[in-house]
Amino acid sequence: MEYSAEYLIERSRKLAYYLRHDKDYDYEQGSAYRSVSDLIENHGYTLDLLETLVVTDSKGRYMFSGDRTKIRATYGHSKWIKVEYAEALPPDLLYHGTVSGFLPKIQETGIKPMSRTHVHMSTDIVVAKDMGMRHKKHGDVRIIVIDSRQMSADGVKFYMSGGDLWLTDCVAPKYFVDIVQ
């Protein structure tokens, strides 16, 4: 079935909420999976629409279970949803998008996950810029270049989650290589 771009964006945003932040749903502990049948029966999705959203999402936000009866977000969950990620060795540099209004605090205390479970970083500066754009009402987008090689050498754990997205618990200011526009 063909879907308009606007419809896909709207349904993807709602799906992101249902898979990342819905406190009224009883997620499977440790997996954050949600039943596909719940989304179909209670939230107006079809299996075709869910498959389309999984396949066409350029950021790799969603994934099905092996038997396709469950679906979950690959990252961005609220703190109260527990997801297990496999530890991985990061590339030498990673990028984190933020805004100028948050920089003074970040430069003082480091990058923290805030309402999410992990700090999100990317190997792609354009993706990092997109991450920062969600807070644009607080200032101009800035990209923090992170020495992830040194962080890893110092024992900080990294996890890979969908596409080129990397996760960690926090990033201390001593690992900031540069801050660019």
The tens digit of pLDDT for each residue in 4-47 reads 999 999 999 999 999 988 888 887 665 688 999 999 999 999 99
How many domains is the chain built from? 2
Residues in the chain: 181
Average pLDDT on 68-79 reads 82
Does residue 87 sit within a domain? no
Residue 27, SS3 per DSSP:
coil
Final residue in a domain of this structure, among 73, 101, 123: 73
* pTM (2 d.p.): 0.66
Query: Could you list the residue range(s) of the whole structural domain that residue 12 is in?
Result: 5-73
Residues 24 and 66 both lie in one domain: yes
Q: Report whether pLDDT(134) > 90.
A: no
Q: What does the alpha-carbon distance between residue 45 and residue 36 come to, in Å, rounded to a whole number? A: 9
Percent of the chain with pLDDT over 90: 59
Q: What does the alpha-carbon distance between residue 45 and residue 79 come to, in Å, rounded to a whole number? A: 26
